[in-house]
Structure 1
Amino acid sequence: MTCDPDRGLLRITLSGFFTVDDVAAYEAARVLHVSRLRCPIGQHLTLADVTGLDIQTQDVVAAFTRVVGDPRYRPRRLAVVVPHTLTRIQAMRAVDGPGVRVFRSVAEAEDWLLSDPEAETAA
């Protein structure tokens, strides 16, 4: 996990298989990194690359859903990069909501995150 304070951007890369304890460690790291951004909480952007993430157990998906849904740290925009349909379905179950989009490449996700949201709604 890295942050770009100038852009208010949090970059997350998740891979492998998680336990509920791993999700708790992820949550602590996310709180720390969001605090380093130069924008108000909730106004930041997040790019989550989960292309290396294995299919997770239901308890881990539930834990991620709780963490990602925490309104104190929910980003203004969340771009999730997923490799295939099954991961996409599981990811959308965990993060679905306003300001969330799923992409197949990091470049597409970043372009959307850094685009002007006003221009997007006018189109």
Structure 2
Amino acid sequence: MKAEYSFDPDTAHGLMRVRMAGFFEPGDVARFAADLMEQLAQLGRPPNEHLTLVDIRAMDIQSQQAVERFEQVLANSPMRSRRLAFVVGRSLSRMQIKRAASSRDAGYFQAPERAEAWLLGKDDAAAA
């Protein structure tokens, strides 16, 4: 499946919801990063003061090259969120995102509602 992503900014909470699906080529990761920077600028928060929820349940297993590019995106200072949560599905995808986000203290959840509650501090939900 071709790479797809969408953004759902919540300016009231400083929360960027991201949905990602399919297989990402390195060029797709670069386009995603550029679009994310554009969306974050419109969120109305100072750099690194936003929250991010990324739903990757529909992502395919990624190539090593794509995982490395995602590592760079996640470590990018202007894009770093104050708190980061992933909604994950299959175990191999989960292992790939944990590797890509190894520089981050991120939460991993199976339900988007739990991830969002954790991000907003409304729940002491333990990460999955």
* Structure 2 residue runs without a partner (length 5+): 1-6
Q: For 1:15 and 1:72, how far apart are their aligned partners in 2?
A: 24
Unaligned runs of 5+ in 1: none
What's the counterpart of residue 112 of structure 1? 118
Instruction: Determine if the alignment matches structure 1 residue 13 to structure 2 residue 19.
Output: yes
Q: Which one of 22, 32, 36 corresponds to residue 26 of structure 1? A: 32
Q: TM-score, normalised by structure 1?
A: 0.90
Asked whether 1:41 is paired with 2:47, we answer: yes
CA distance, structure 2, for counterparts of residue 108 and residue 18 of structure 1: 26
1:51-70 to 2 correspondences below 5 Å: 51-70=57-76
Q: Which amino acid in the other structure matches residue 92 of structure 1?
A: K
> Could you report, residue by residue, the CA deviation over 1:34-88 in whole angstroms, capped at 9, with x for unpaired residues?
1011221101000000000000000000011101110121000000010021111
In the TM superposition, residue 96 of structure 1 has moved relative to its aligned partner by 2.5
- 2:96 aligned partner: 90
Identity of aligned residues (%): 36
Aligned-CA RMSD value = 1.8
Q: 2:4 maps to what in 1?
A: none
The 2-side partners of 1:86 and 1:98 are apart by: 19
Aligned length: 119
Which is richer in helix? Answer: 1
Following superposition, which runs of at least 4 residues in structure 1 exceed 2 angstroms of deviation? 96-99
Comparing 76-85 with 108-117, greater Cα deviation is found at: 108-117
- The answer to which of 64-73 and 47-56 deviates more is 64-73
TM-score, normalized by length of structure 2? 0.87
On the 8 A contact 1:76/1:99 being kept in 2, the answer is: no
